[in-house]
Amino acid sequence: MTTPDTTTTTTGAGPEGTGGRSRRAWLREHSELGVGVLLLALGVLVLTDALTMDVEIAQRGPIGPKTVPVAVGVGLLVVAVLLAVDVLRGGRGEAEGGEDIDLSEPADWRTVLLLAGVFLATAVLIEPVGFPIAGALLFWGSAYALGSRHLDRDPLIAAGLSVVTYEVFNNLLGVPLPGGPLMGVL
């Protein structure tokens, strides 16, 4: 949903170049049009949801459950078009800078995908293998993806952090977290 770099879009004026390479360059240059397309899609989604709602319940007053979604949906469509026009006229959103950020290098998609994958794996694993294991994998996996290669230290830090967190939440505070396969066996 957030890889607009690869989104091929047909919004706005057609590509100026004739060759494949210049077309790609044009698309790369105007990749922000992808944001417009996503906003458009979101607007259509919100409007569809609102208009297919069956309001059988006695609705009181002039404003029912549909009104605000319709307004938001229309707003999304309008903003999508305005944004596309702005981009085609040469407007660009400025990527966010920061202390740890080096915008001169191209984006490191591998790290982002790794991190997202590790996070997703945590969501999948947390119930079957329990929080201590899933949490440790999340921390270690993230640190690994971000370039930490202390194979002798990182797993221990991750395991320690995860187990302590588990103890604090589950045992001291009584906020239940799944304990893992050996719960009730040992």
Partner 1 sequence: MWATSHIPRPPGASLPGAPSTYRQVVAHVRLRTPLALLGAALLVLVAPPLLTTGSGADTGTQIPGLRFMVPNTPGGGYDITARTAAKNAEDAGLTHNIEVYNLPGAGGTVGLTRLVGEHGNGKLAMSMGLGVVGAARSNHSPKSLGDTTPIARLTEEQDVVVVAENSPYKTIDQLIGAWRENPGKLPVGGGSSPGGPDHLAPMLMARAAGIAPKKVNYVPFDGGGELLASILGSKVAFGVSGVGEYLDQIKSGELRLLAVTGPKRVKGLDGPTLKESGYDVDFTNWRGIVAPPGISDAERKKLITLVEKLHASPEWKKSLKTNGWDDAFLTGEKFGDFLDAQDKRVVSVLKELGL
Partner 2 sequence: MDAFNSLMDGFGTALTPVNLLWAAVGVLLGTAIGVLPGIGPAMAVALLLPVTYGLEPTGAFIMFAGIYYGAMFGGSTTSILLNTPGESAAVVAAMEGHPMAKAGRGAQALAAAAIGHFAGGMIGTLLLVALAPTVADLAVDIGAPDYFAIMVLAFIAVTSVLGSSRIRGLASLLIGLTIGLVGLDQMTGQQRLTFGSLQLADGIDVVIVAVGLFAIGEALWVAAHLRRGDAEAIPVGRPWLGGADVRRTWKSWLRGPFIGFPFGAIPAGGAEIPTFLSYVTEKRLSRHKDEWGKGAIEGVAGPESAASASAAGTLVSMLTLGLPTTAVAAVMLAAFQQYGIQPGPLLFEREPDLVWGLIASLFVGMVLLLALNLPLAPVWAKLLRIPRPYLYAGILFFAAVGAYAVGGEPVDLVILLVIGLIGFGMRRYGLPILPAVIGVILGPNAEQQLRRALQISDGSVGGLVDTPFSLTVYGLIVLIVAWPLVKKALARVRRRGVDVEA
Least Cα distance to 152 among 161, 142, 140, 170 occurs for 140
User: C-alpha distances in angstroms, 121 versus 30, 55, 109, 152?
Assistant: 33, 39, 18, 23
Least distance in angstroms from the C-beta of 45 to partner 1: 21
- Range 71-76 contact pairs with CB under 8 angstroms and sequence separation of 24 or more: 72/46, 73/43, 73/44, 73/46, 73/47, 74/43, 74/47, 75/43, 76/39, 76/40, 76/42, 76/43, 76/46
Binding at 29: pick from partner 1, partner 2, none (beta carbon under 5-8 Å per type): none
> 116 is in the binding site of which of partner 2, partner 1, none (Cβ under 5 to 8 A by kind)?
partner 2
Is the separation of the CB atoms in 180 and 130 below 8 Å? yes
Contact 141, 121 (CB under 8 A): yes
For partner 2, which stretch binds (CB under 8 A), given 8-16, 19-27, 137-145?
A: 137-145
Q: How many residues bind partner 1 (CB under 8 A)?
A: 45
Binding flag, residue 95, partner 1 (CB under 8 A): no
Binding mask 35-64 for partner 1 (x = CB under 8 A): ---------------------xxx-x----
Q: Which stretch binds partner 2 (CB under 8 A): 9-17, 20-28, 89-97?
A: 89-97
Which is closer to partner 2, CB of 20 or CB of 97?
97
CB nearer to partner 1: pick between 108 and 167: 167
| Residue 173 touches partner 2, criterion: CB under 8 A | yes
Count of Cβ atoms closer than 10 Å to residue 162 Cβ: 22
Integer Cα distance of 58 and 64 in angstroms: 10
Binding mask 6-35 for partner 1 (x = CB under 8 A): ------------------------------
Question: Which stretches of the chain bind partner 1, using CB under 8 A?
Answer: 56-58, 60, 130, 132-133, 136, 140, 147-168, 170-172, 174-176, 179-186
